[in-house]
Structure 1
Amino acid sequence: MFANLFLLITSCQKKKENIEYENRVKVLLNKYDLSVLPDNYKEKTLDTVYLYLLKHENDSINRNLLFKVANKYYALNKFDKYLKVTKKVKEFASEKKDTSHMAKSLYFLGEYYEDKAQFDSSFYYYNQSEKLYKNLKDTLNSGRIALYKGGILFDSGNFTESETGAVNALKLLSKTSNTRLVYESYNLLALSLKELNNFEESLKYFDLALNQLQPLENEDYPKDKLVKSRISCFNNIGRVYEKQRNYKKAIVYYEKGLALQDLKLNYPKSYAMLLDNIAYSKMKEGDFKDIDRLLFESLKISDSLDITQGIVSSKINLGEYYLYKKDTTQGLTYITEGFKLAKKIKAGPFIIRSLKLLTENDSKNKNYYSILYIKINDSIQNVERMTRNKFARITYETDQIEEKNEILSNKNTNIILGSGIIIIFLGVFFAFYRLKSKNKELLFIKEQQEANERIYQLMLVQQSETEKARSDERNRIAMELHDGIVNSIFTTRFNLIQLDPNALDKKEQLVKELEKTENEIRQVSHDLTQNLLFEDKSLPEIIITLVESQQNQYNTRFDVSVDKYIDWSLVSSHNKIHVYRIIQEAIQNSNKYSQAERCYIMLLKTGDKITIRVWDNGIGFNAEKVKYGIGLKNIKDRTKSLNGDLKISSNSEKGTTIEVVF
């Protein structure tokens, strides 16, 4: 009894000490908040509090106070100290196995690296934090971090994954009472859909975002932030209509933004942006009234506020305006200035737009800008692809680490062992069942392919006969030209040389002879035109048609290039079938598995050989370990039939290349 009483007294004493300790720290932090002294004094106060906290016991109260110190360092822009304190809290939370504080510290680290524009590190820490919050069933913070991850993916140009992230965030946040985060989720989803050219859905979610602002207003959300949000929504909706080339509708929403009270005075940055955008839409609509005034006013405001992106946009728009006005010199001057500034700040979309305008309008430097446009465009795409792959690897590696830890912690338990055996048995059974179904499906596909091949072979035979008929027709016309028209002209020319100036009858006869020759030429020309009119498609045209018809869920852009120096008459019909089928199979594999943005098909002449090369910038595969399915086996067999060499190279960074040389 006395022991229990002692424990009770000790516990109460401990609790009282903790409260007193927490109050002492809060007093220090309150003095800091009320301080009108310089920031260096505030920093010294925080340094003192931080050292004081480090000497105290590592408990939840202390860790919460350390988080407050970290936030105040952040407010002072002392990011290095913010990072230091956050890492210390993470270390303390890890020692005590405090999942909640671990998740929060990882979230703080994600914010730090996001502000530093180190998106891969930020994504890594957000990803780890999100998993911990999910384990804690913390819906609000799980949704918040899903939203921030989606924002990073959007800023990195990965719009498809950004859309997925926004949807996941919305599913979680719609269950909470956080109206602001729901608004941000709608906004991010709408922006992602806009970039994916899904305009109807984008407009729907922008409307939902706008509707969220009224509840925020009812919650006494800061007025200036609400105004900025409305401006952002009106501007973004305008940009959607602008992308659709519905400039009238875009102008309506830009005007809604400009109609907000005291916009120019209180929100000059937003005012300049809306002026620039409305001027561009009016110019595209063909309304040039006051365009130069609007653009120069926008440029002046952006310049005074040092808004570099605004300056770039205004200069490029001014350049395009002067091009419309046929003042090419002035137009190119502004576009060149915009291009140089865009390069300086590494603004990809503006670089591409300005280079496109320079390529189309600067005839003197067209080749230079054209080469630069292709180079920079490819470079930007490569960076986006590498960034996308990097985020995918971060997610994959995090999942892998968790999976390994889980296996290691549970591998000695009988339950997992028994469950594993059952799962393996079911997996084998399911795999066997699936394999059997797949074999039936593949057999059907093979039969279809054989039927298609027979049809295609008949088509090529018909084409061969058409080409023979065309050749015969050309030979006939050549003979007519040689035997009839050339001889007639020669005879007429000779008679003209010998003609007596006074022999009017003879002269009239020669004129009639020339008229006859003229009619013959017209007839031959007519025959030749008719012959060309009914020419059949060649193999390159069939391949181009095949490539242009491609479409998949990843919106892969397919391009084709056929070397004009290849003499297809030297390739047998049977081999042409192999060429067509190899390309068809490679494209089908890219459609199904690669998730690529681009796929490029090339037919090249190299000496006395032809090279077929199909490249995509997709996720790739391990070419050494992958088992040859029917598709790859068919490519291999057809290469062998062509007496050619097959080379397949693939990885996650460079994509996949299939090359056949024969």
Structure 2
Amino acid sequence: MKAKFKIVLLLIFLQITACQNKSKTPEFKQNVTKALKALDSSSAENDEKEKIIDTLYNHLLKHKNDSVNRNLYFKIASKYYGIDKYDKFLTVVKKVHYLSVKDKDDAQVAKSLYYFGDYYDAKSQLDSAFNYYSQSQKVYSQVKDTLNIGRTKLYKAGILYDAGIFSESEIQAVDALRLLVKTKNTRLVYECYILIALSLKELNNAAESLKYFDLALNQLEKLERENYPKDKIEKSRISCFNNIGRVYEKQKKYQEAIRLYNKGLKTKDIKNNYPKSYAMLLDNLAYSKMKSGDFKEVKKLLFESLKIRDSLDIAVGIVSSKINLGQYYLYKNDKTQALAYLKEGLLLSQEIKSSPFTIESLKLLMENDSKNKNYYNKEYFKINDSLQEVEQITRNKFARIAYETDLVEEKNSVLIKRDGYIITLTSLIILLFFVFFIMYRLKSKNRELVFIHEQQEANEKIYQLMLKHQSETEQARNDERNRIAMELHDGIVNSVFTTRFNLIQLDPNQIEKKDQLIKELEKTENEIRRVSHDLTQNQLFEDKSFPEIITNLVESQQNKYNTKFDVSVDKYIDWCTVSSTNRIHIYRIIQEALQNINKYAKADRCYIMLLKTADKITIRIWDNGVGFNVEKAKKGLGLKNIKERSNSLQGEMKITSEKGKGTTIEVIF
């Protein structure tokens, strides 16, 4: 496998060497990328990998400063970081930072700053790491890179957690989460949930901590659907189960903790694939079983965990195992063994500077080693006071770093604000001008609408007066007809009837003359009756005034499209049965429709019909104009008025229209 790896890289180096003086060719980037991928998939020792990365870096130094080559610097730096060569990692980051600043590439300047943060984080120089992450965040904010603003906030939250400032860590992680959920970066959202959950655990908020661990487990399921590397998902899930178990431990719900640890241990081939996690779960499982009073296999679990941690040289894990073994022997009343393991744990925790384990072991020794109780008591309070002092100093230091970073940002923003004032003032003037213009237009429009409304009211009054006058005229005409009919009937008919009666009484010898006169009088009588009947029946119900008004309205229409208007009024409509108010509504419906046609229809022909069907009257207005979208136009004032008048008639309005195919409006009442 190693021989094959060397042959592949040798070929790549030959390709790189062949084009190392041709900085403009894309082959260089492709070959470096191939070499880096080969490193990822290789099983070579770190020393061999380091030589390859050194060669790639030296070749890259000979090429020009552009964004493509700077990205290669970042990739090479990441490879150094992956094999724990932090000093060489720092050298490459310094180089790419210098080149990014020189080329004024803000995005890559920001990236190099958070790489500096990674370096100091790896070196446990938390204040420096926090400082560089803060600087990186500010630059990313300027270029509005939401993903990386969230990423740097998350890293800052991690630094605060490592420093033991848990409340600030939670706040930063929540801020990061708000940004990262928008980017849909599932892995970073998962890390936010984990960090919030861990901070809440340390703040003794168990319920909220468990909620965020559940959210983290859901994110792992999303990562599976996104084909994220399976081994990383398994490792993260084991870590989640372990951390949830620790929350239950804090609550003294040891059975729940045991259930979670066993769940983690059921991971397929965990012992071989994730020995560090396996040892951790064994140690925690043994502790919870011991605390719950179940000592079965506790000793076996603790020694197996310690053996694995010894073989992997996991110092923190070894300390935890030794302290737990000390507690186990205390439960078993074997103080000699217990104190021996606790002392070993104390010495190792002091050596690796693990304050939590140092305090835990001192507390146990103080409670159980009566001979040296005063010494351990003194050491316990000494280190506890020291930790509180360090925590306060650290908290102040991070606050100062944040303030100084903000101060630099504020100085930069002063220049931006100064330029912004001119833009803001200009924009304000334009906005004010626009507002005044809109107000003027609205005022003019309002005056126009008021004038139209007043004109409509005046027209309404004139029309009502006209109808009243016509009604009075018609009534006078009817009265006159009735008077004449009455006179004909009561005067002439009676007179003729009397004459005819007298003639009947004449001398019978004048038969011929008498018959002639009788027939003549009968003829006259019948004629007068016919005239009287016509006057009182047919002519009284004949009303041509309203149809004439409609006809005059339609025939008076003119527009710029030269629309030809026609009107037809059904002669069988009995207008006497239609009230004056309803006639006004009919008139206004036709008038409104004609106005819309003149304005918008662009029609060649328009036809207005008033039809009688059974006991209903139909108003139909048709044009062959451009048509319109009925749904959108329903909100228009004209159609709204027609609709309201249709409702007043207790009728039904129907509109049929289609673009390019004309319009038909029907009102049936």
Deviations 1:325-378 (A, max 9, x none): 222222111111111111111111111111111111111111110000000111
Conserved in 1, the CA contact under 8 Å of 2:138 and 2:409?
A: no
Amino acid at match of 1:326: N
- What are the equivalent positions in structure 2 for 1:14-53 lying under 5 Å apart? 20-31=24-35, 33-34=37-38, 43=50, 46-47=53-54, 49-53=56-60
Pairing partner for 2:229 from 212, 222, 230: 222
How far apart, CA to CA, are the structure 2 residues paired with 1:264 and 1:75? 23
Q: Give how far 1:52 is off.
A: 4.7
Alignment of 1:364-375 (within 5 A): 364-375=371-382
Secondary structure class of the residue paired with 1:175: helix
- Structure 2 partner of 1:72: 79
Please state how far the C-alpha of 1:34 moved relative to its aligned partner: 3.7
**Structural mapping, 1:252-401, within 5 Å:** 252-401=259-408
The correspondence for 2:168, drawn from 161, 172, 181, is 161
Cα 1:49–1:277 shift into 2, 3 Å: closer
Question: Could you tell me which of 90, 115, 130 is aligned with 1:83?
Answer: 90
Q: Which residue of 1 aligns with 2:197?
A: 190
**Per-residue CA shift, 1:42-79, capped at 9, x if unaligned?**
65555555455444443323322332333333344433
Q: Which amino acid aligns with 1:190?
A: A
The total of aligned residue pairs comes to: 403
The answer to which of 375-384 and 405-414 deviates more is: 405-414
SS in 1 for 2:222: helix
Tell me by how many angstroms 1:200 deviates: 0.4
Distance 1:351 1:49, change over 3 A: closer
Is residue 142 of structure 1 aligned with residue 146 of structure 2? no
Residue segments in structure 2 that go unaligned for 5+ positions in a row: 1-20, 427-669
User: Does residue 122 in structure 1 map to residue 126 in structure 2?
Assistant: no
Please give the alpha-carbon distance, in whole angstroms, between the structure 2 residues aligned to 1:372 and 1:31. 54
Q: Distance in 2 between matches of 1:224 and 1:248?
A: 28
Letter in 2 for 1:288: F
Q: 1:424-439 to 2 correspondence within 5 Å?
A: none
What letter matches 1:283 in structure 2? Answer: M
CA shift digits 1:109-166 (9 cap, x unpaired): 1112211221111111111111111222211111111111111110110101110111
Structure showing greater radius of gyration is 2
Residues 1:39 and 1:364: Cα distance change in structure 2 (over 3 Å): closer
Q: TM-score, normalised by structure 1?
A: 0.57
Cα shift at 1:404: 2.3
Q: 8 Å contact 1:316–1:335 — kept in the other structure?
A: yes
Say whether 1:107 aligns with 2:111.
no
Q: Structure 1 residues 180, 18: CA separation in 2 closer, same or farther (over 3 Å shift)?
A: farther
The one-letter code matched in structure 2 to 1:159 is F
CA distance in 2, matches of 1:319, 1:270: 22
Match of 1:374, SS state, is helix
* 198-207 vs 173-182, which moves further: 173-182
The offset of 1:265, in angstroms, is 2.6
2-structure distance, mates of 1:352, 1:390 = 24
SS of match in other structure, 2:182: coil
Which residue of 209, 215, 223 maps to 1:208?
215
1:408 to partner: Cα distance: 5.6
Give the AA of the match of 2:365.
Answer: L
Paired residues of 2:261 and 2:285 also in contact (CA < 8 A):
yes
Partner SS state of residue 174, structure 1? helix
2-structure distance, mates of 1:301, 1:75: 24
Deviations 1:445-503 (A, max 9, x none): xxxxxxxxxxxxxxxxxxxxxxxxxxxxxxxxxxxxxxxxxxxxxxxxxxxxxxxxxxx
Please give the alpha-carbon distance, in whole angstroms, between the structure 2 residues aligned to 1:41 and 1:316: 39
Give deviations 1:161-205, integer Å, cap 9, x for gaps: 110111011111111221111111101100000000011000000
CA contact (8 A) 1:143 1:173 kept: yes
Is the 2:60–2:69 contact (alpha carbons within 8 Å) kept by the matching residues of 1?
A: yes
AA at the equivalent of 1:305: L
- Tell me the amino acid that sits aligned with residue 34 of structure 2: N
In the aligned structure 2, how far is the partner of 1:70 from the partner of 1:248? 46
Please, which moves more after superposition, 138-147 or 399-408?
399-408
Counterpart of 2:187 in structure 1 is 180
Relative distance call for 1:269 and 1:19 in structure 2 (3 A) is: same
Q: C-alpha displacement at 1:258, in angstroms? A: 1.5
Residues 1:93 and 2:103 aligned together:
no
SS in 2 for 1:130: helix
**C-alpha deviation, 1:415, in angstroms:** 4.9
> Is 1:32–1:42's contact at 8 Å kept on the other side of the alignment?
no
Distance 1:266 1:111, change over 3 A: same
Contact 1:410/1:416 (CA < 8 Å) preserved in 2? Answer: no
Q: Distance in 1 between matches of 2:22 and 2:180?
A: 35
Look up the SS of the partner of 2:183 in the other structure. Answer: coil
Q: Which stretch shows the higher mean deviation, 351-360 or 106-115?
A: 106-115
Matches of 1:46 and 1:292, distance apart in 2: 46
Q: Which amino acid aligns with 1:22?
A: P
AA at the equivalent of 2:25: Y
The CA distance in 1 between the partners of 2:271 and 2:219, in whole Å, is 25
Q: Distance in 2 between matches of 1:313 and 1:41?
A: 35
Choose the corresponding residue for 1:199, options 206, 220, 223.
206
CA distance in 1, matches of 2:288, 2:47: 49
- In structure 2, how many angstroms separate the alpha carbons of the residues matched to 1:48 and 1:263? 37
* CA–CA distance in structure 2, aligned partners of residues 212 and 409 of structure 1: 40
Alpha carbons 1:355, 1:373 under 8 Å: kept: yes
Please provide the CA RMSD for this pair: 2.6
1:117 is matched by which residue type in structure 2?
S
Task: Report the Cα distance in structure 2 between the residues aligned to 1:41 and 1:350, rounded to whole angstroms.
Answer: 37
Residues of 1 paired with 2:83 and 2:272: CA distance? 27
Shift of 1:212: 1.1
**Structural mapping, 1:448-463, within 5 Å:** none
* Range 68-77 or range 287-296, more displaced: 68-77
Structural mapping, 1:529-608, within 5 Å? none
Tell me which residue corresponds to 1:653: none
Hey, what's the Cα distance between the residues in 2 that align with 1:72 and 1:140? 23
The Cα of 1:236 is off from its aligned counterpart by 0.5
Q: Aligned pair 1:62/2:69, yes or no?
A: yes
